[in-house]
Every structure is written in structure tokens, then in C-alpha cells.
Copies of this chain bind each other. A is one copy, B any other.
Amino acid sequence: MPRTKFSLAEADIPTHWYNIAADLPGPPLAPALNADTGKPLTRDEMAHTMPEPLIEQETGTDRTYEIPEQVRELYALWRPSPLFRARRLERALDTPARIYYKYEGVAPTGSHKPNTGIPQAYYNKLAGKTGLVTETGAGQWGSATALSASFFGMTAKIYMVKVSYRQKPYRRSLMETYGAVCVPSPSPETAVGRAVLADDPDSPGSLGIATSEALEAFARDPSLGYVLGSGANHVLLHQTVIGQEAVRQLELADDYPDIVVGCAGGGSNLAGLAFPFMGAMLRGGTPVRVIAAEPAACPTLTKGSVVYDYADTGRLGPLFRMHSLGHAFVPPAVHAGGLRAHGMAPLVSRAVEDGLIEPVAVGQVRCLEAGVTFARAEGVLPAPESTHAVRVAIDEAMRCREEGVSRAIVFGLSGHGHFDLAAYDSYFAGELNEAEADDETLERAAASIPQVAAV
């Protein structure tokens, strides 16, 4: 029978993470800045929030970093994840395209997030921390943190964006089952949260606000480690296990991608899949077109500017050079809560600036429609975040049909939608619109971008 599933063995779990900083053309990545001094963050300043090995991974330019044995053992609880040829979807679309998807939903929490949760917990545990604190949008990162903390016998406290806390109560239950405490954000627990609530008691929250709350809680308690689900270089680094496996699996399929698609909120899922292919290209290998699929509700790459801005609304953290809509941006309450980030990972932003990644914004109705098409053809119900990649992959496959050419399209199915059926319910009930961010909101948010001289 024609091959559908490309499996690797446990021994094929990558032994190293891949660092694209080693292969990026041009000047080094712009450093993060201390917001008070306007100067690049020193290692000492970084040591405030990160254990030493993570600082090295965050700032270093080695091409690879070894994955600790204990982390690989935990990866083995679900990795290598499968790569599928979407033959039934191809037939349903009547397209000459060869469509592949790399499926991260087999992880215990149903998304790619534990790929970085586990090493971050590991290094924080090594550094003597007894608990973890973080923020979460849709709850995928929060679940991964709860799981990872549980694996290392650590506590976990998760600030969850309030709109998602309400939309996805089972995500909270999952975190609690792993032993974590989950708090809807904005919360009265922090000064940042209280300030937001004073201004708008009905605030749906945002990832920026939740990040500030987590940072504030972290600053109060030296026994805690602060971990983060996307954006940072080391987070993207950890996610490259996805793409490295996909490279080998496509060898098994005797194929190579013309196009790689990932959904992009903070950027780590896209980077994890795409960077190993992009690295091969940058080292003289086969060219590949990489597409970042972002929500029209939060069009960071397509409507943001590349600036120095805060990743957190409360301005407690450093400044990052990245595409940003302004740290005051509060996106509409769309179901793809994991993509509601006002700022993009600096490495992804840089790749977009360099023309290595092409951004596309898509509305949520067209995304969920693609999710339904995919589920009926391939079985797996995609998470609302992942439907953005499905949408763009389908659009590209339809273009192949129009042009009468066969291209290999590889997309990241970053998670399953078993926690997100409310999104599909709303879609079928016709209650959703594309939720595009409006110009006035974007303009107001952009005004929050600080005036910082480039270094």
C-alpha cells in the first residue's frame, strides 16, 4: 500500500538541538536590551531569570547544543512524533501537491510545547529551583509547564489569559491534575493584574499581561524559576527536534519540501519545524519557501513593525528587537488563544526581515473551515492554532492544482483540538467572524512602542 506514516525509532530522537544563529547570513541577531539603560542585557542580568545553560543557548552561536540524557528519556514518552503524507486530503482537494504533516499532538498534553518545557524544567531544577512560574495563552504552554514540573518534582504556578481560562476549562483541569496551580489573568494577585483590572474589570487578558504577572510573581520568590513558552532563542532551539525529525522522515519518504508552513503566535512551533530546513538551505542546500501563518486577529508579522519593544504589557522584562504590534495590543478573543501574541520571536522576525520567511495572515473562519476539511479527510482534529497552518497548506495545494504543478508541502500540525471543541461549535453555529484587527486598535497599540535608539 502507498506509504502514509513515516515513523522513526526511539534511537532516532535527535541528540542535539539545532541553533540557526550559526547559519544566519549578515550581522548577528540584535541583542535584547535592558529597558532602563538601553544597553544590551549582560549575562549577569540574564542570570536573574535564566540558569547558565539556558543563557548559553540563548546567546551562543554554536550550531548545535547537546540534549541532556534525562531530557531525551522524557522526550521518548512521545517522540519521535509521526510524519504523515496526507494522501486523503490530497484526494479530497484533487491536487497534484504532495502534502505532509508533522503531528505534535501525540505529546501527553496534546501539543509541541513540552519539547521546551522539559529542558527548561530540567535546567531550573539543576540550578536549585523548586518551582516554576509562567504565563499561558490557550493553556498549551501551561499544561506543558505543569507536566514538566511534575516530571521533576517541582511546583508550578500558571497565569492563564482569562478569555482562554473561560473558553477552555479542561486546560485548567489538566494543569491541576499534574499538580499545578492555575490563575486567570489579569488577577488581583499582582500589582500588574490589579492595575489592569482597575482600568477594565472585564479585561479578557492578553499574553502580555499574563507575562507581566508571572514575572512579578517570579521576582517575589527566589525559589521559583521563570520559564517561557515561546519567543526566546533557546525556546526555538529546543523546538528544532521537530524539524530535525521531519528532515529524516522526508528522507524515508524520498521527498523534500518545496514549502514549509507553520502557524506563528510567538514563533516557536514554526521555527522548530522550519529552522532545520532553512539551515540546510543557508549552508548551500535545497531552497525552501517557508510560510508563517498568523491570525488576522493578531497580525504581528504582516501589520507590525520591527522595533524594540517589551514582550510583556507591564514592562517588567527587557526589550526585544522584533515585529511588534505594541505591547499594549489586546487582540480580539479568538479561539486560537495560543497565537494572541503582540510580539514575534526575534529569530523569526529576523528571518522575515531577511526574506527567509514569508508571513500570511488568515481569518479564523477560513481556518476552522480548513480544520473541518482536514479532520474529515485525515481524522485528526487540529487545534485552532494549527488550523492556520492547515489553511495555508490547503491554499498552497489549491494553487498547485490551478498551476498544474506538484509541490511538496510540509506543515506543522502543532496540536490536536480535543480541548478546543467550543471553537468548532461556534464555527458550526455561525457565531464567528474573521476577527480581523481593526486599524484604530492597531494604531492605538502601536503608540505603546517605546522610543529606543537602535544599538
A38-71, CB < 8 A from B: 69
Q: Sort chain A's interface into a size bin.
A: 35 or more
Give Cα distance in the complex from A450 to B88, angstroms.
48
**Contact across chains for A8 and B7 when beta carbons are under 8 A apart:** yes
Neighbouring B residues of A141 by C-beta, 8 Å: none
**Which listed residue (B7, B10, B107) contacts A4, Cβ 8 A?**
B10
Neighbouring B residues of A110 by C-beta, 8 Å: 418
A436 at the interface (CB under 8 A from B): no
A176 at the interface (CB under 8 A from B): yes
**Contact across chains for A106 and B106 when beta carbons are under 8 A apart:** yes
A136-177, CB < 8 A from B: 147, 150-151, 169-170, 173-174, 176-177
Neighbouring B residues of A173 by C-beta, 8 Å: 421-422, 424-425
Neighbouring B residues of A114 by C-beta, 8 Å: 379
Of A7, A72, A78, A173, most B-chain CB atoms within 10 Å: A173
Neighbouring B residues of A106 by C-beta, 8 Å: 106
| A114 to B, closest residue via Cβ | B379
Neighbouring B residues of A122 by C-beta, 8 Å: none
Neighbouring B residues of A380 by C-beta, 8 Å: 77, 108
| A73 to B, closest residue via Cβ | B1
A387-439, CB < 8 A from B: 416, 418-419, 421-422, 424-425, 428
Interface segment, A197-205, A216-224, A370-378? A370-378
A5 at the interface (CB under 8 A from B): yes
A320 at the interface (CB under 8 A from B): no
**Contact across chains for A421 and B170 when beta carbons are under 8 A apart:** yes
**Which listed residue (B9, B109, B379) contacts A78, Cβ 8 A?**
B379
A166-208, CB < 8 A from B: 169-170, 173-174, 176-179
Neighbouring B residues of A72 by C-beta, 8 Å: 1
Give Cα distance in the complex from A69 to B88, angstroms.
15
A295-354, CB < 8 A from B: none
**Contact across chains for A7 and B7 when beta carbons are under 8 A apart:** yes
Contact sample, A vs B, 19 pairs, CB 8 Å cutoff: A1-B69, A1-B72, A4-B73, A7-B9, A7-B10, A77-B380, A88-B151, A106-B106, A108-B378, A108-B380, A151-B379, A170-B422, A173-B422, A173-B424, A173-B425, A174-B381, A174-B418, A174-B421, A416-B418
Residues of A at the B interface (CB closer than 8 Å) are: 1-10, 69, 72-73, 76-78, 80, 84, 88, 106-110, 114, 147, 150-151, 169-170, 173-174, 176-179, 372, 375-376, 378-381, 416, 418-419, 421-422, 424-425, 428
* 8 A-B pairs closest in CB distance: A108-B379, A173-B421, A170-B421, A4-B76, A418-B418, A5-B10, A150-B376, A108-B380
